[in-house]
Amino acid sequence: MRPIDYLIWGWHGFIVNVRLFPRRDLGDMAFRPVLRSKVGPMRVYTPLMDDNIMSKLEIQVDGREIRDYFTALSRHLVETAVTSASGKTLHIAEAVNQVMTRALHAHAIGNKLIFLGNGGSAAIASHMATDYSKNGDVRSLALNDSSMLTCLGNDLGYDQVFSKQIELHARPGDLVFAISSSGRSANILNAVKAARDAKCTVVTLSGFTDDNPLRSLGDINFYIGSDRYGFVEISHLTICHVILDFICGLRVADGGLPVAATAG
C-alpha cells in the first residue's frame, strides 16, 4: 500500500506536510504518521478501521444489479398512483396537467407556490422552489430557513414549524406542495390543515404504506408504492421536475428514449 500525503495546519499557523505509512503489524488500513517538516510540536492520531468498515469498502455490484435498480425505480414512477380530494383515481397525465394549470394560474393572479418537506424532502422543496422560480418563472418559495425552523421548533414545537409559517405567509389561491416519504410527518400534516384553513390548493407527495394520512388530504395526491426512501424521494423529485419541465415547454424528443423504453 502506498503512503498517503496530507497537508495539516499546524499549531503555530504553519502548514505541515504529513506522510502516512501503512503499519503492517496493525493491518493494512492502519497508518503511522511521519512529519516531513519540523515546525513545532504536533501529534497526528488516525483511528484503525474495523472489520465492518472494511467489509463495506469491499462491496461490489455488477451491471445487472444496477440495471435492476434503475428498472425498479422506473417502474415505481410509471406506477405512480394519483387521487383527487374525493379519493377518485386520476390518470397521471390528467393530474400533471391540473397541477401545471393551477401553478401557472396562481402566478398569474399574484399568488405563489409553497414547498414543504423534512430532511431529503426539504432538499427537494428547496430545489423545486429555486427551479420553479428561476427556470419556470413561477413565483415559489420553500419554508425551511434554518433560523425560522429552530425558532419555531424551540418555541412552538417541531410539529408546528411549517403550519405557523403557512399561517403567516399563505394566501387564498396559493399552491402548496406537501412532501413526505412516509406521509405521516406531524409537521407536514399540520401544515396541510393550515393551508386548507388559508384556502390554498394542496398537492401531496407521499410513499411507504398506501394508508398514510397525507395521501387523502390534498386536492391532488401523488403516491409512490415503495418502502424504500431512495425510490420514494427520487420519484417525488422527478414528479415535481416533470411538471416544471412541461411548464418550461421541455419535451422528450422523438427517438430520445432507448428502444426498450418505447416498447408498447
Is the pTM higher than 0.85? The answer reads: no
How far is 118 from 122, CA to CA, in rounded Å?
5
Mind listing the pLDDT tens digit for each residue in 37-49?
444 455 544 455 5
Residue given cell 406531524 in the structure block: 186
CB contact at 8 A, 81 and 91: no
Q: What is the pLDDT of residue 48?
A: 53
Q: What is the pLDDT along the chain (264 residues), one digit of tens a residue?
A: 555 544 444 444 444 444 454 545 444 444 444 444 444 455 544 455 566 665 667 789 999 999 999 999 999 999 999 999 999 999 999 999 999 999 999 999 999 999 999 999 999 999 999 999 999 999 999 999 999 999 999 999 999 999 999 999 999 999 999 999 999 999 999 999 999 999 999 999 999 999 999 999 999 999 999 999 999 999 999 999 999 999 999 988 776 665 444 433
Neighbours of 101 (CB within 10 A): 11
User: Strands across the sheet with 27-35, in order?
Assistant: 4-9, 15-23, 27-35
Residue type, 264: G
| Domain extents in the chain | 4-57, 67-247
Q: What is the pLDDT of residue 255?
A: 63
Kindly report the CA angle at 236 between 131 and 126, in degrees rounded to 5? 35
Query: Coil, helix or strand for 28?
Result: strand
**Grid cell digits, residue 2:** 502506498
How far is 102 from 37, CA to CA, in rounded Å?
65
- Architecture of the domain delimited by 67-247: 3-Layer(aba) Sandwich (3.40)
- Strand pairing of 15-23 and 27-35? antiparallel
Mind listing the pLDDT tens digit for each residue in 17-65?
444 545 454 444 444 444 444 444 555 444 555 666 656 677 899 999 9
